[in-house]
Amino acid sequence: DAKTTQPNSMESNEEEPVHLPCNHSTISGTDYIHWYRQLPSQGPEYVIHGLTSNVNNRMASLAIAEDRKSSTLILHRATLRDAAVYYCILRISGTYKYIFGTGTRLKVLA
Amino acid sequence: EPEVTQTPSHQVTQMGQEVILRCVPISNHLYFYWYRQILGQKVEFLVSFYNNEISEKSEIFDDQFSVERPDGSNFTLKIRSTKLEDSAMYFCASSEAPRRSPLHFGNGTRLTVT
């Protein structure tokens, strides 16, 4: 199975950058790395995804290691509204199935 | 921006009753999913659906559960005879092409079984 490992929790000060790590050593060569977040009482929200090279969008940046066994989600300036559980997930090879782990709970301090 | 919509937002039902949770996926998406989240626990995969049939299902998705795309726009999850342990948030998601495109989730239906 395509398993990911993330720290249970992290803290950041408001307006500072946050780097959320994810290990996915069993990733297959064609699988994209997806990041989602879940704010309190809401459904998971897409953040960013990538295959090999680093990706940027209006929400975040995704840095992917050269061997693709790990990635880092970068929030450039954390705000209080970024407090959420962040999930790094992979598709199970040969399926359409994405499995969520326990994610990283990000706390942003004012 | 198009979004996945789910109705109702909250459903209360008695144990043993049938419930149908409804979802309208994004219109050009082809892959559909149901996930659930018991309070305080992680998001769990239930089922994926493509080309009018189930692609994968989890162990949770037993004979009490069924999914349907009755009219080309709605995607429904039916629980035939609800149990107390079915109480959870149920999230619908859709995707254009799951390998390279993200899943878009609705805001969920909170199901409470009494």
pLDDT in tens, A48-106: 999 988 999 999 999 999 999 999 999 999 999 999 999 999 888 788 888 898 899 99
> Nearest CA to A39 among A108, A110, A99, A91?
A108
Extract the tokens encoding A22. 């994810």
Task: Give the one of A43, A49, A99 whose C-beta lies nearest to B106's C-beta.
Answer: A43
> Nearest CA to A32 among A103, A96, A101?
A96
Task: Give the one of B89, B99, B104 whose C-beta lies nearest to A91's C-beta.
Answer: B99
**Helix, strand, coil % (nearest 5) of chain B?**
5, 50, 50
Contact A44, A36 (CB under 8 A): yes
Contacts of residue B104 in chain A, CB cutoff 8 Å?
A: 46
DSSP state of B15: T
Question: How many residues are present in chain B?
Answer: 114
Whether A44 sits inside 8 A of B43 (CB atoms) is yes
Of the listed ranges A23-27, B53-57, B83-87, the least confidently predicted one is A23-27
Q: What is the pLDDT of residue A1?
A: 54
Give all strands (DSSP E) within A1-110, no chain letters.
9-13, 18-23, 33-38, 45-50, 55-56, 61-64, 70-75, 84-89, 104-109
Contacts of residue B98 in chain A, CB cutoff 8 Å?
A: 91, 96, 98
Of the listed ranges B29-33, B62-66, B94-98, the least confidently predicted one is B94-98
Give the Å distances, CA to CA, from B90 to A80, A88, B9, B102.
Answer: 26, 20, 10, 19
Average pLDDT over residues A4-20: 96
Is the pLDDT reported for residue A16 higher than 60? yes
Q: How confident is the model at residue B23 (pLDDT cuts 50, 70, 90)?
A: very high
